[in-house]
Amino acid sequence: MEFRLYPTYPLVEHRGSPIPNIHLPENFKELVKRFYKQGRRKSIEEYQKKLEEILKKTNFETQIMLQWDDKVGLINISTRGAGLYLNEEGIPNYQEHNLGIKNSFVLGAIAQMYISELLKSQ
């Protein structure tokens, strides 16, 4: 259903941070083929670099790493010790690991941009 494509950031009080809840379209694997053919990976990598440049000007300078798979697309968006990992079980989504308030929004922004580019691949 379409409503799952809207990301949310529910507050996890015991962690003191909002955590991204980001789903992919159910047909994301079909879209990945077109995503790569259309050269959209480059736009995500450029977005990542621009975010890193912006973060250098703040007190949250960090290296953002992207891991790609030829069949399922962007499988990992991470910084040191924290990240969003593709979870294909059930409704496809990005599962968080060890995120805090700052990296939740930064990595979530990349995941959302990736999904936007996937949907443009239709």
Domain boundaries, the chain: 29-120
Question: Is the full-model pTM beyond 0.75?
Answer: yes
Cβ-Cβ contacts under 8 Å for 96 (sequence gap 6 or more): 19, 20, 82, 83, 84, 85, 104
Predicted pLDDT of residue 104: 94
Predicted pLDDT of residue 60: 83
Work out whether strand 82-87 and strand 17-18 pair parallel, antiparallel, or are unpaired.
Answer: unpaired
Predicted pLDDT of residue 15: 87
Predicted pLDDT of residue 61: 80
Contact yes or no for 20/78 (Cβ under 8 A): no
Residue 102 CB burial class (10 angstroms; 0-12, 13-18, ≥19): middle
> What does the DSSP assignment read for 28-84?
HHHHHHHHHHTTHHHHHHHHHHHHHHHHHTTT-----EEEEETTTEEEEEEETTEEE
Q: What is the mean pLDDT of each run of 10 residues along the chain (122 residues)?
A: 74 91 94 97 97 91 94 96 95 94 94 96 90
How close are the terminal C-alpha atoms of the chain, in Å? 16
